[in-house]
Structure 1
Amino acid sequence: MGAGCSSEHGVATNAAPVAKAASVKSQPAAEATTPSPAGTPPAASQPSRASVDDFLEEEDTPAKRDPEARLEALHRCFDALDKDKSGTIDFKELKQYLFKTGVNISLITGKAEELMAKMDLNSDNLISRDEFTHMMEALLVGKTDEDLEVWVAEVVFTATSRNVVGFGDSLGEVLSGLDLTTEQVSTLKDCFKQLDRNSSGFVELPEVKALLGRSGMDMEHVSEELNTIMLKLDKNGDHKISEQEFFVTLCAVRHSLQDDDAFKRVLDNFLVILKSGAADTPMLASVLLTDQVA
C-alpha cells in the first residue's frame, strides 16, 4: 500500500514464524491463556500479538519442561492457523494470519513467502503439522512451559478472532487510516453498492462470479480467476467481502497503479460495466489478477 494505506498497528519485519507484533513479557498463565470470544477486539487484559523474535529475546530461567504439554500447545496453535482443517497450512492461510497481525498489506505476499520457505521442509508449498511443530520446538526450546502457553494463546486468539487489525469497528475507522480523497471514497462506495446486488452489506461469491461470468472470460478458467480475486478481497477468509475489506484492497490497488488518474480510470470503467451490465472484462479484475496487489 501507499502512504496511509498500511495498517497503523504493524509493519512486516524479519521476525521468525509465526506471529508478528509487540513484545510480550511473561505473565500469569491464568490471565494470558483465556482468549476473548471471536470478534471481540483485544482489551488491555487480553493477549497481545507477539513475534517469535521478541519472544526469544526475553531472558529465561531453565525449568523442567513437560514435552507432552508443549506438543499439545503447539498443536492447538497449528489447528488455529489451519483454517480449512485440511491438516496443512497453505499460502492463503499464512497471508490471512499475517493480515490479522497488522502486517502492511503491500508486504504480506513477500512475508508469507519467507515463512513458507523456512517452514516447508519438503517444498510442497504446504506446512504440515510435523513441519510446524519441528520448527517451533526448535525456536522455542529455551522457553518455559508457561511462556510457551502465553505465546500460543496470543497466536490462537489472533488466528480465531474475526476482528481484523486495521479494520476497526466501522468503515469510518478504516477510512481514517487510508489516504483516499473524498471523490475516491464516494466512487468506491458506489462500486461496492453496485456489486452488493442483494444489499446484504457484503459482496458474496455468487455476485463476483456473476460479474466474471458475463465479462467474456473463458468460462473454463472462471473458477481459477474467481479464487484469485476472492483471495485478494476476502481478507479474513469468511467467503464474503465487507466494505472494510473492499476499501483496504482497493487502496492497495491505488498504490500498485502509482497514479491517481489511472486509478480513476479503473474505477470509472468498473462502474460503467456494473451499471450497464456490459459483457466486458473490468479493468479492476485485470489489476486484481496481477501479482502487484496483495
Structure 2
Amino acid sequence: MCPLNTKYLHRIFQNLDKNGDGLLSLEELNWLLERIGINFSLEDLESSVGKSSLNLDEFLSFCDSITKQNDDKNEILGEKEEQDLAKAFNVFDLNGDGFISCEELQSVLSRLGLWDETSGKDCSYMIHVYDTNFDGVLDFQEFKNMMLHAN
C-alpha cells in the first residue's frame, strides 16, 4: 500500500466506517483491500489483524505496519507480491492503456471518498514525484516504485 499521511488515512477510516460506530469492522477493511486488488478471507484478515474490528489508532498502526513491511528498498518481490501490485495497478488504470493518468487517479480516489477540489494538485504532484521519465503518467514500474518506496 502507498503510505498516506494521517489526514488521508483518517478520511479513509471515516468513509469505510459505514455505520459510524468509530470502529472499522473486518468486513469494512476487507472491502477496501478488495478494491485495491488484495484478497483475504475474513478469517485470514482477522488472524493478521488480531481482532474483529479496529479503532482509528489501530487502523493507523495497521497501515503503518504494512508500510514498514515494504520499507526495504532492496526487497525483491515474490511472484504473489508482484501479482498483487499488478492487480492494484489495474484498479487505477481505468482505460487499460498501461498508464495511470491524473484523471484516473482522481477517479479512483473519488470512489474511495478521498477526492476534494484541493486534491487535484495532490494527484498531479503524486504523479510528478514518481514519473521518472517525465511523460505525465505512471507506468507499472513507476507505480511499483511509488507503492513500495514512498516516504
The two structures have a TM-score, normalised by structure 1, of 0.30
The amino acid that maps onto 1:91 is C
- Looking at structure 2, the residues matched to 118 and 52 of structure 1 have their Cα atoms a distance apart, in angstroms, of 24
For 1:252-278, what per-residue CA distance to the aligned partner results, in whole angstroms no more than 9, with x for missing partners?
xxxxxxxxxxxxxxxxxxxxxxxxxxx
**Partner residue, 1:15:** 5
- Looking at structure 2, the residues matched to 130 and 111 of structure 1 have their Cα atoms a distance apart, in angstroms, of 20
Q: Gapped runs of 5+ residues in structure 1?
A: 1-13, 34-44, 46-50, 141-294
Does the alignment pair 1:76 with 2:87? yes
Residue aligned with 2:103, SS: helix
**Partner residue, 1:91:** 102
User: How is 1:1-294 mapped onto 2 (pairs within 5 angstroms)?
Assistant: 15=5, 21-22=12-13, 29-31=40-42, 55-56=63-64, 67-139=78-150
Aligned CA RMSD, in angstroms, stands at 4.5
- Contact 2:127 2:138 survives alignment (8 Å): yes
- Looking at structure 1, the residues matched to 104 and 129 of structure 2 have their Cα atoms a distance apart, in angstroms, of 16
Aligned length, in residue pairs: 109
Deviation for aligned residue 1:58: 6.2
For 1:32-75, what per-residue CA distance to the aligned partner results, in whole angstroms no more than 9, with x for missing partners?
89xxxxxxxxxxx9xxxxx99971256978xxx96111111000
Deviation for aligned residue 1:94: 1.0
Q: Gapped runs of 5+ residues in structure 2?
A: 15-23, 31-38, 45-52, 54-58, 70-75
Residue aligned with 1:88, SS: coil
- Contact 2:106 2:115 survives alignment (8 Å): no
- Looking at structure 2, the residues matched to 85 and 106 of structure 1 have their Cα atoms a distance apart, in angstroms, of 26
- Contact 1:15 1:53 survives alignment (8 Å): no
Deviation for aligned residue 1:114: 2.1
Distance 1:110 1:88, change over 3 A: same
Q: Identity, % of aligned pairs? A: 17
- Looking at structure 1, the residues matched to 83 and 96 of structure 2 have their Cα atoms a distance apart, in angstroms, of 17
The amino acid that maps onto 2:64 is L
The amino acid that maps onto 2:63 is F
